[in-house]
Structure 1
Amino acid sequence: MKKIDQLQTMYETTGIHPGYDLLRYMALPDLLGKDQDTVLYILGKNMSRALEVTTIEELIAAFNVIGLGDLAHVKEKRSEDLFTLTSSFIDARKQAEINQTYHFEAGLISGAMETVRGFQCEAEETVKAKKSLVEFTVKHYR
């Protein structure tokens, strides 16, 4: 499927013009190359600090305000937290065959959780395409 056809599918599925997806999933990979994942993760961590996110509730609200989707804090353990991200865009990108990564979102969550928990954190994302959601596991390093 041609890239323009992928974007057209996104537009038809969501009704929203895919300018963000054009930049995020087509232009940035071209610009950043193999360093894309690392750069987006670090950018996300830095953004959480710039937004001054200090609670899990503020993190969830930030995802909604920014338009990244609906973030939910699913589980809290001693050394990790589990979040899920849902959005109609996840499924629309899948249907449009757009290669999607969520390293920026993982970095945003990781940076915020470092502030919330007071420990160094690392977040990993897992796309659950069949469920149209992304799972983020945040590990705390005490």
Structure 2
Amino acid sequence: MDQSTYNKLLQQPAVSALGAGFIRDEVLPAILGSDQLTILYWIGRQMARQNPLSEEQAITTLFTQLNFGRLVQTHGGRKQQRFELNGPAVSHRLAAYPEASFDFEAGFLAQEIEIITGAATEGTVDEIHKDHVTFIIQSDPKNIVGEVAARVPSLNIHSEDTNDAEQSK
């Protein structure tokens, strides 16, 4: 999505997660079959490439805005980072679909980290619990694969505070 589309979508009223959940957890698995996890991971990476972000804080804000859940970094390092995805969006989704896939989020997160750092990066879903999901993001700082985010036009993500202020105008 371009900046204009993002801004327009951000201004729309909140909608039920029923439609998105139905497509995500019913329709896509039916279409993708046994290749679902791999395809969703690579679609996540592609979506991140089309919507590059310039800083990690923007990733957590966008995850919340897209209703993926609340993303929190639980371990940080040059080569490995761990993230937890939690909150009502995750626990409600897992209650309805205990076998839900979070590979799209893993791919999206890994690609955004790769864009920000320039280092080759892969992500995996580590564990799925009833109320949260953990991801491991592995980077190779010696393998620079692209331009660092500072030189890539990126999507300007509005913080939730900015969004609330804009909606009250």
Q: Normalised by the shorter chain, which TM-score bucket?
A: 0.7 to 0.9
Aligned to 1:8: none
Superposed displacement of residue 30, structure 1: 0.7
Comparing both structures, which one devotes a greater share of its residues to helix?
Answer: 1
Matching of residues 54-65 of structure 1 within 5 Å? 54-65=54-65
Write out per-residue CA displacement over residues 2-46 of structure 1, whole angstroms, 9 at most, x where no aligned residue. xxxxxxxxxxxxxx4521111111110110111111111111111
Cα separation, 2, equivalents of 1:116 and 1:17 = 30
What RMSD over aligned residues (CA atoms) do the two structures have, in Å?
1.6
Are the counterparts in 1 of residues 25 and 97 from structure 2 also a CA contact under 8 Å? no
Query: May I ask how many residue pairs the two structures share in their alignment?
Result: 126
> Residue 90 of structure 1: CA displacement?
2.4
- How far residue 97 of structure 1 moved from its aligned partner, in angstroms, is 4.4
Counterpart residue type for residue 72 of structure 1: V
Deviations 1:66-116 (A, max 9, x none): 111111122211311111111213222333344211000000101001012
Structure-2 separation of matches of 1:127 and 1:43: 21
- Give me the whole-angstrom Cα distance separating, in 1, the residues matched to 2:94 and 2:66: 21
TM-score (norm 1): 0.80
- Greater gyration radius: 2
Structure 1 residue aligned with 2:29: 29
- After superposition, residues 1-142 of structure 1 pair within 5 angstroms as 16-130=16-130, 132-141=131-140, 142=142
TM-score (norm 2): 0.68
Assess if the C-alpha contact under 8 Å between 2:67 and 2:89 holds in 1.
Answer: no
Q: Percentage identity across aligned positions?
A: 25
Unaligned runs of 5+ in 1: 1-15
Is there any run of 5+ residues in structure 2 with no aligned partner, and where?
1-15, 143-169
